[in-house]
Amino acid sequence: MTVNGYDVSFEIRSVNNRYLDVNVRLPRVYGYLEEKIKKAVQERVSRGKADVYLSVERPAGEAAEIRMDAALANQYLEAMRAYAREAGLRDDISVTSLSRFPDVFTQKAKEEDEDLVWESVRAAVEAGLDQFVAMRQREGEALFRDLDARLDTMAELLEKIRAYSGDALRQHREKLEEKLREYLADREIDEGRLLTEVGLIADRIDTGEEMTRLASHIDQFRGLIRQDAPGGRTMDFLVQEMNREVNTIGSKCAMLEITQLVIDAKNEIERIREQIQNIE
């Protein structure tokens, strides 16, 4: 992009990262622009490891200023003429021959208007960020569809777990009561106390609370992927909580069918975890 005579090239690349990390690479002479460029990126991007590359070429003819040291040139000229007279040589000294001596002509970079430079660079930065954000939005739409489908799968798995959990709890109660009766076969059994103990132990494998919390996390996640504000960090937290609830369900229920559903749910959670690293 050419702005105010400056040819400016701006490129930004981003990979997954929990937080925003901006690394700017630009010509050393324009180092004073680094913080301004970082700020511009931070205003448009809130998450990811962003590598920014900037190149700037000054307007033709303005990159440097040529200066001649006339006093030094005169000293060279006098010395050369004196030698020519002593040696009886023809005096054929020219400006070209003088220019070959060090420091007769010097090149010095012209001072630039920093505000004008930033104005030129900012136009390229904003245009590049517009394209970058538009690309991420397109990716976000595809990501939304994927996550929404995975949340549907999680909800379906939860309903299947819920359907099996009643049978699992009942079976566990019956087995526990049967074992206690066998153990206390030669003793008088207090039926009330027996039922109380069975109930207390059975409560420890009840997954009702975990399933309720898991359903709540799924609903919260659906809300986050539908909002405009960045929610990647909150999604990270919810994924951890979902995984915790599923693990607890798996540890409480040894029923084969539930164990398989728990494995499927953990696989879905892991895929969700990988995907949300791309979300702000």
204-to-157, 169, 200, 220, 253 alpha-carbon distances in Å: 22, 10, 7, 27, 10
Residue 61 pLDDT > 90: no
Residue 193: strand, helix, or coil: helix
Q: What is the pLDDT of residue 11?
A: 93
Q: Report the C-alpha gap between 260 and 266 in whole angstroms.
A: 10
**For residue range 226-262, what is the model confidence (pLDDT) as tens digits?**
887 777 788 989 999 999 999 999 888 777 888 899 9
C-alpha count within 13 angstroms, C-beta hemisphere, residue 258:
24
Q: Report the C-alpha gap between 54 and 10 in whole angstroms.
A: 5
User: What are the residues whose beta carbons fall under 8 Å from the beta carbon of 138, sequence distance 6 or more?
Assistant: none
Q: pLDDT confidence of 35, banded at 50, 70, 90?
A: very high
Q: What is the pLDDT of residue 177?
A: 67
Residue 7 pLDDT > 70: yes
C-alpha count within 13 angstroms, C-beta hemisphere, residue 280:
19
Residue 198 pLDDT > 60: no
User: What are the residues whose beta carbons fall under 8 Å from the beta carbon of 38, sequence distance 6 or more?
Assistant: 22, 24
Residue 109: strand, helix, or coil: strand
What's the predicted TM-score (pTM) here? 0.57
pLDDT (mean) for 208-227 = 92
User: What are the residues whose beta carbons fall under 8 Å from the beta carbon of 161, sequence distance 6 or more?
Assistant: 207, 211, 249, 258, 261, 262, 265
Residue scoring higher pLDDT (228 or 215) = 215
pLDDT (mean) for 201-221 = 85
Residue 277 pLDDT > 80: no
Percent of the chain with pLDDT strictly greater than 90: 32
Q: What is the pLDDT of residue 267?
A: 95
| Other CB atoms within 10 Å distance of the CB of residue 115 | 8
Q: CB of 117 within 8 A of CB of 29?
A: no
238-to-3, 19, 272 alpha-carbon distances in Å: 46, 17, 11
Q: pLDDT confidence of 51, banded at 50, 70, 90?
A: very high
**For residue range 150-185, what is the model confidence (pLDDT) as tens digits?**
999 999 999 999 888 777 667 666 666 677 667 666
Amino acid identity for residue 45 in this structure? V
Q: pLDDT confidence of 216, banded at 50, 70, 90?
A: very high
Q: What is the pLDDT of residue 104?
A: 80
Q: Crossing angle, helix 114-183 and helix 208-225, to 10 degrees?
A: 160
Q: CB of 50 within 8 A of CB of 14?
A: yes
Residue scoring higher pLDDT (178 or 27) = 27
Q: pLDDT confidence of 188, banded at 50, 70, 90?
A: low
Residue 138 pLDDT > 90: no
β-partners of residue 49 are 15, 21
Percent of the chain with pLDDT strictly greater than 70: 81
Residue 189 pLDDT > 60: no
Average pLDDT, the chain: 83
